[in-house]
Amino acid sequence: MDLLLLEKTLLALFSAVVVAIVISKLRGKRFKLPPGPIPVPILGNWLQVGDDLNHRNLTDYAKRFGEIFLLRMGQRNVVVVSSPDLAKEVLHTQGVEFGSRTRNVVFDIFTGKGQDMVFTVYGEHWRKMRRIMTVPFFTNKVVQHNRQGWENEAAAVVEDVKKNPEAATTGIVLRRRLQLMMYNNMFRIMFDRRFESEQDPLFNKLKALNGERSRLAQSFDYNYGDFIPILRPFLRGYLKVCQQVKEKRLKLFKDYFIEERKTLMGTKQTTNDGLKCAMDHILEAQQKGEINEDNVLYIVENINVAAIETTLWSIEWGIAELVNHPHIQQKLREELDTVLGAGHQITEPDIQKLPYLQAVVKETLRLRMAIPLLVPHMNLHDAKLGGFDIPAESKILVNAWWLANNPAHWKNPEEFRPERFLEEEAKVEANGNDFRFLPFGVGRRSCPGIILALPILGITIGRLVQNFELLPPPGLSKLDTSEKAGQFSLHIAKHSTIVAKPRSV
């Protein structure tokens, strides 16, 4: 740092201390704030809490301060709720008041300051984007049109694994092949396109850029500069890399996929059986002036991250738990064999006849929730919650993982036990009918992708268990299921090598 920048930083720090003390005294008279650790001027609770606001750390604070608490992270107020009743207040009862999104400096870059659907503020733009995305992506008609494609992609995974001699002996990193499957599932819907193999150069370029985007966005490493603006100059290099990755991704989306659909729309209006792909619907909305070109690009950005990655994480978690619990894997296999019979590979309509498979999927989503804090909410105006005052533009985190893993609400929650959803929790569904279990959120800002994720999870896990005995690699009795948490994500830290021994079906 040069002397001029150091001088400006120190001056800003001194001024900010004075202003923060004055504001703190004024606000102390106005607000009855939620409990929390005592903050210091400028830094707030940053030195006590650090950058890593993952679900387990926030659970520890909930045990100290209660079901609602406040962290002052530099200039940002972070309110964390950890009870079903308060989750209902945020997501449902006061869904309008808390219906906006807060973005940090990195998500501002990757979403064009909220030009997408997921991170835009609650209002007319969000309603318009939600409406435009619902018809081509999130309806039963879309599921029925695409389910055979999902089944074919799962069948292709099975065939490729069977052809790989290492799969049945030393094992393979199954995630790599499942990643191709998930890209094909979503790119079929978006663009009526698929990638032929893991070696496809365009697939690898896309996968690398999406992976870099996720690494940069989900890291906790940049929190200090987001919380404390006077430290933001130290993020210049980081934010520059984010901008470069964003520009490369959007250019790839446009040049290789969107422009192709524009050309085809002028000659061949529909896919072979008469239903347009999602991008055709979205481009029509652009032609009508409802959205602009940037909105189109950021819709593709959302699907590449929100739909592909989160479902892949859940599949990977589910497989790892089945490998580590062979009796559960065998019980699931017996259900598949008994209900479907020899030679019948599971299809989407079969899932409703397979309660234990549904329970395995729900238990995976409960114990290994892909978005454990949901996507952050925000109140645009001063609000009330749990008897406390919530200052305007506070970041509201719902610790959905703790709601689903709190021993006060669940029997032995640390256990992977699908039977709970057939016994004491038989009425609990993944759609948010019980505020203890919110893997997709609930209310206005819930994840609409639930309608795609649940059948894809059922088909994929079902096909793998039908066709293979899934085991840890030689020399290991269990897979390593250590967690890797991000800003609001949770995935397995180490992509496991898995032995897949073919069965006769």
Residue numbering of the annotated binding site for heme: 447
State the DSSP string of 435-464.
TT--TT--STTS-TTHHHHHHHHHHHHHHH
Q: Among candidates 372, 326, 352, which has minimal Cα distance to 477?
A: 326
Q: Phi, psi (5° rounding) for residue 198?
A: -65, -15
> How would you classify the pairing of strands 172-173 and 497-502?
antiparallel
How many other β-carbons are positioned within 10 Å of the β-carbon of residue 129? 24
In DSSP terms, 69 is beta-bridged to 80
Say what the alpha-carbon torsion angle 453, 456, 458, 461 is, to the nearest 10 degrees.
-120
Helix locations, 325-449, DSSP H: 326-340, 355-367, 400-403
Q: Looking at this protein, which amino acid is placed at residue 376?
A: P
**Rounded to whole angstroms, how far apart are CA atoms 52 and 70?**
15
CA distances, 35 to each of 80, 83, 85 (Å): 10, 15, 18
Query: Angle 148-304-156 (CA atoms, 0-180°, nearest 5)?
Result: 35
Pick from 160, 183, 449, 213: which is nearest to 312 by CA?
Answer: 183
Interacting residues of 212 by C-beta distance below 8 A, sequence separation 6+:
245
Interatomic CA distance for residues 227 and 16, integer angstroms: 13
- Cα separation, 1 vs 241, in Å, equals 19
- The CB density around residue 499, as the number of other CB atoms within 10 Å, is 21
Hey, what are 45's tokens?
């609770």
Binding residues: 447
Contact, 485 vs 371, CB < 8 A? Answer: no
CA separation for the pair 456, 376 (Å, rounded):
26
Which segments of 369-497 does DSSP mark as H helices, in order? 400-403, 450-467
Alpha carbons within 13 A on the beta-carbon side of 259: 7
- Is beta strand 497-502 parallel, antiparallel or unpaired with respect to 468-471? antiparallel
Residue 500 per-residue DSSP state? E
Report the number of secondary-structure helices (H) and strands (E) in the chain: 19, 11
The closest alpha carbon to 138, from 371, 458, 447, belongs to 447
